[in-house]
Amino acid sequence: MNETILVALIAFAGTLAGSVGGILATNKLTSYRLERLEKKVDLHNNAVMRLMVVEKRLDQLSR
């Protein structure tokens, strides 16, 4: 096999492995950030619901 072709195939394999590794790492980080964001949204929604309950009770007490 020609030496140039062998070097090109090795370079291609390295590029392919690096690209796949980068995609997997990015996907993992994106999933982690999305999970954290979902937790923050849940906390925010819980606070909004609690505030609605408090406002309703204050409205009932002020009558």
Grouping H, G, I as helix, E, B as strand and the rest as coil, residue 63 is coil
Q: Cα dist. 61→11, 47, 48, 50, 51 in Å?
A: 75, 21, 20, 17, 15
pLDDT digit string (tens) for 29-41?
Answer: 999 999 999 999 9
What pLDDT is stored for residue 19 in this prediction?
Answer: 98
| 63 vs 57, higher pLDDT | 57
- Identity of residue 23: I
What pLDDT is stored for residue 43 in this prediction?
Answer: 93
Prediction pTM value? 0.66
Q: What is the DSSP letter of 2?
A: -
Element (H, E) at 58: helix 3-62
pLDDT over 90 (residue 63): no
Of all residues in the chain, the percent with pLDDT exceeding 70 is 100
